[in-house]
Amino acid sequence: MIVLGVETSCDETSVAILKDGREIISEVIYSQDSIHSEWGGVVPEIASRQHVRIIDAVFNEALMEAKIELKEIDLFAYTRGPGLIGSLLVGLTYTKALAYALSKPFVGVDHLHAHIESAFLENDLIEFPVLALVISGGHTSMFYMEEQLEFKLLGKTRDDAAGEVLDKIAKFLEIGYPGGPAIERLSKNGDPEKFRFSTPVIKNGGLDFSFSGLKTAAYLYIKKGLVRKDSKELPDFLASFQKGIIDHIISNIKKALNDYPAKSVVLSGGVARNEELRKKVSKEMKERGIKVFIPTPRHCTDNGSMIASLGYKLYLRGKRDGWDSDAYARFSSAFYSSETRKRHK
Ligand code: KG4
Ligand code: ZN
C-alpha cells in the first residue's frame, strides 16, 4: 500500500511517500526558517501563504523522488491539528482534493501523536508501556501509552512551550532563529552552573509544565544589561538557561514515572534534537533501566513521514475521514478518547 503524508501545521511544508506505512520511499521537507528569521518567530499569515505557494512543488518533488505516479497512491494522510489554522487548512484542503479526485481514502492525524510516531517509525523494538514527550516550538506535552495508538495525556505546558522560550530569548539577544539550535551552539563551552535558573514548581499542577518563569528570569538578566550578545558571559548564561529547561523536563519525567511505570521513554519534537537533552535523559533513564528512543534529528522536526506512518496505522484500525472533516487549531480533547476513534470507524 502506498501512503502519502502531508504536514503543514506550522512552518514546514512536508510531503512523504511510504510503502506500507513503514518504508520511506521519498520525503521532502521545505522549511520556512529563513523567511521567519527576520521576525524571530513564525508569522502565521506568512506561513500559510508560503504553504500555498510551495505545496504543489513539494508534492511533485516527492512523487518524482519516489518514482511513482499520482494514481498509485492508495491512502492520503494529513495533519488535522493542532497547529496554525491557516497552515493546517492548506494541507487539509490539498490532501482532501487529491483524495476526492482519485476516490481514495484519506485520514487526518493528530500532530502530537505523529511526532511520537516518528520514534516508532524508526524503531520496531519500543516496549510498552511508554512515557512519550513532545517537546517543540508549539507544544510541550507528556503522554502515557500502554499500547500502540493509546495516548493518555498526563500533562502539558500551562504557558509557553520549551522551544518557544528558547526562540524568544534568542530573539531578545539577537543571536539567531530558530533559537534552540543557536543557543545550543553558543552554549557549547559555557558553564551551566554560573547563572541560577531554578526548576519551576507547579502547585497542584500534577504533571503539567511551565516555562514562562524561566523565560522571564532570563529576560530580566537581558533587560538589566547583565548579559548581551557580545558579553563574555554569554556561553555561561545560555548553558545555564538551557540547563534550566532540561532540568524541568527531566524532573517531570521522573515525577511521572512514580505513578506511571514505563519500560521506554520517547522524546520527540524539535527540541529533542538538543544533544544535551538527549544525553541527560538517556543517562538518567539508563540508571533506572528504562530504554530511551529519540528519532534522528531530521525526524524530530515536522515531517510528512510521521504523518503517513500514523495515518496508515489508523487506517488499518478502520479510521477514515469524511469529506466534511475540518482542521483544529488547538489541542482537541475529543481526539484523545477511544470513543472518538470508534465513531471514526
Ligand atoms: O517540532 P518543531 O520543528 O516545530 C514545531 O514547533 O512543531 O520544533 C521547532 C522548535 C523550535 O522552537 C526550535 O528552536 C527547537 O525546536 N529546536 C531546538 C533545537 N533544534 C530545534 N531546541 C533545542 N536544541 C536544538 N538543537
Ligand atoms: Zn511539530
Tell me the pLDDT of the chain (345 aa) as tens digits: 999 999 999 999 999 999 998 999 999 999 998 999 888 888 999 999 999 999 999 999 999 999 999 999 999 999 999 999 999 999 999 999 999 999 999 999 999 999 999 999 999 899 999 999 999 999 999 999 999 999 999 999 999 999 999 999 999 999 999 999 999 999 999 999 999 998 887 777 689 999 999 999 999 999 999 999 999 999 999 999 999 999 999 999 999 999 999 999 999 999 999 999 999 999 999 999 999 999 999 999 999 999 999 999 999 999 999 999 989 888 655 554 443 344 333
At 320 the pLDDT is 94
Ligand 1, closest atom to CA 179?
Answer: 14
At 200 the pLDDT is 82
Residue with the nearest Cα to atom 2 of ligand 1? 270
Ligand 1 in contact with 13 (CB < 6 A)?
no
Ligand 1 in contact with 10 (CB < 6 A)?
yes
Ligand 1 in contact with 213 (CB < 6 A)?
no
At 40 the pLDDT is 82
Residue with the nearest Cα to atom 16 of ligand 1? 270
Contact between 315 and 75 (Cβ < 8 Å):
yes
At 343 the pLDDT is 39
Residue with the nearest Cα to atom 14 of ligand 1? 180
Ligand 1 in contact with 176 (CB < 6 A)?
no
Ligand 1 in contact with 163 (CB < 6 A)?
yes
Backbone dihedral angles phi then psi of residue 180, each to the nearest 5 degrees: -55, -55
Contact between 48 and 34 (Cβ < 8 Å):
no
**H/E stretch holding 89:** helix 85-102
115 alpha carbon to ligand 1 midpoint, in Å? 12
At 61 the pLDDT is 98
Contact between 132 and 116 (Cβ < 8 Å):
yes
181 alpha carbon to ligand 1 midpoint, in Å? 8
Ligand 1 in contact with 166 (CB < 6 A)?
yes
Question: Relative to the alpha carbon of 161, which ligand is closest?
Answer: 1
Q: What are the start-end ranges of the E strands in the chain?
A: 2-7, 12-19, 23-31, 75-81, 106-110, 130-135, 140-145, 152-156, 264-268, 291-293
Ligand 1 in contact with 268 (CB < 6 A)?
no
**Please, how many CA atoms are within 13 Å of residue 257, restricted to the half-sphere of its CB?**
20
